[in-house]
Amino acid sequence: MGQITFEFVGNSELMEVHIFRADSFHGEPTESEEMRPQWFQLDQMPVSHMWPDDAYWFPLVLHKKLFLGYFKYQDHDTILEYTLKEVDKVQEENKQTFHTSHMGNIIPQIGQAIE
């Protein structure tokens, strides 16, 4: 569905995140050390409690759009720059082209301003 590369100032490693969407499942979500599952109405998503970049790309997931993204953070709350681009396919050759030209076709954030 999507792929995002995160860069944090002062850290030489990039974090590559793959975004997936499931439209159905069987069983009950269970709590783990990493998360406590909780259901929300779409118009009540707790965006202010999520990472700042989520407000940019999460609407694309809800609308079943494929995308590539890049977010550069100063710290956990401050986005210095970002690029988000809808694509026809999320594949390796798109990713390489995208990362060498970060600033094409930026999709504006939905729901809140960059802090």
Q: What CATH number does the domain containing 71 carry?
A: 3.90.79.10
User: What digits encode the pLDDT tens for the residues 75-96?
Assistant: 999 999 999 999 998 876 555 5
pLDDT digits (tens, 9 = 90+) for 43-70: 898 989 999 999 999 999 999 999 999 9
In angstroms, the CA 97 to CA 29 distance is 37
Full-model pTM: 0.75
- Residue 72 included in any domain: yes
Residue 59, C-beta contacts closer than 8 angstroms, at least 6 positions apart: 110, 111
Domain hosting residue 55, numbered range: 2-21+43-86
User: Does some domain include residue 54?
Assistant: yes
Q: How far apart are the first and last CA of the chain?
A: 27
Total domains, the chain: 1
β-bridge mates for residue 17, sequence order = 4
CA distances to 23, 81, 84, 91 from 8, in Å: 32, 11, 17, 24
Would you say residue 114 has pLDDT above 60? no
pLDDT tier at 115, thresholds 50, 70, 90: very low
Residue 17 included in any domain: yes
Q: Is 64 helix (H, G, I), strand (E, B) or coil?
A: coil
Could you tell me the pLDDT band of residue 97, with boundaries at 50, 70 and 90? low
Determine the Cα angle at 90 with ends 57 and 100, to 5°. Answer: 85
In a domain, 74, yes or no: yes
pLDDT at 112: 37
